[in-house]
Amino acid sequence: MTKIKICGIKTINDALAALDAGADLLGFNFYPKSPRSIDVGTCRDIMAVMRRYGHITYVGVFVNASAAEIRATMETCGLNLAQLHGDETSAMVQSFYGKAFKAFRGIPAGINGFAREDAPALLVDASVKGTYGGTGVTADWRGAAELAKHYPILLAGGLTPENVAEAVRRVKPWGVDVASGVEAVPGLKDAVRMKAFVKAVRSESREQRLETSH
């Protein structure tokens, strides 16, 4: 079953709505320049409530932050994974001993040292000059599909309730990651669109399972 990450959560209401919609992973963005940026204190307060729901994974999104800052934030907020969305090295990813994965803008030429043994091994986003994700631009699905044959990837970039089923069908990723595609305005989630997104992914995942079982 394709996993679903809803990213850019800023409020407890959006966190609970994402959970209710059926998300498998929730993402909190600590990049200050993002419209979905959240501060550590607010995330900690949200997680004080969300920690009761232990069956999903909580991810902190960081862009060129220091390892010390990332570790402190994860510990304070009680997050499970760090998504490194900047220009971090493979050595930095490995220094988290399985608790971090690298996001790539575009299809990486080489990922030796970046791919984790656990899923997701890496994230593939759209390549947009001067930005670090959240652009609403679709990724290179053909290139991502080739990567997905070898690694459990998380596919991001311009996914919406309207196109995610096709993305899952064409790429066959381990999981999909959505932020702007399920928002009412930047930084504020739309509960109806989140449910529609999850429904589309689940429906396509079932279709794929039926196809492989015949």
DSSP string, 50-118: HTT-TTSEEEEEESS--HHHHHHHHHHHT-SEEEE-SS--HHHHHTTTTSEEEEEES--S--TTT--SS
Looking at every residue in the chain, the average pLDDT score rounds to 92
Q: What is the pLDDT of residue 171?
A: 97
18-32: b or e for each residue (b if 16 or more CB lie within 10 Å)?
A: bbebbbbbbbbbbbe
Domain regions of the chain by residue span:
3-213
Six token digits for residue 50: 């969300």
Kindly state the DSSP code that residue 17 receives in the 8-state scheme: H
Asked whether residue 213 carries a pLDDT value surpassing 80, the answer given is no
Residue 212 has pLDDT above 90, yes or no: no
Q: Which residue has the higher pLDDT, 136 or 62?
A: 62
Q: What is the pLDDT of residue 130?
A: 55
Query: pLDDT digit string (tens) for 43-95?
Result: 999 999 998 887 899 999 999 999 999 999 999 999 999 999 999 999 999 99
pLDDT average, residue stretch 191-209:
94
Return the pLDDT at 113: 87
pLDDT at residue 32 tops 90 = yes
pLDDT of 143: 94
What's residue 90's pLDDT?
94
CATH class of this structure's domain 3-213: alpha beta
pLDDT per position as a tens digit, 164-183: 999 999 999 999 999 999 99
Mean pLDDT confidence for 118-123: 94
Tokens 């089923």 correspond to: 165
- The H or E element spanning position 7 is strand 3-7
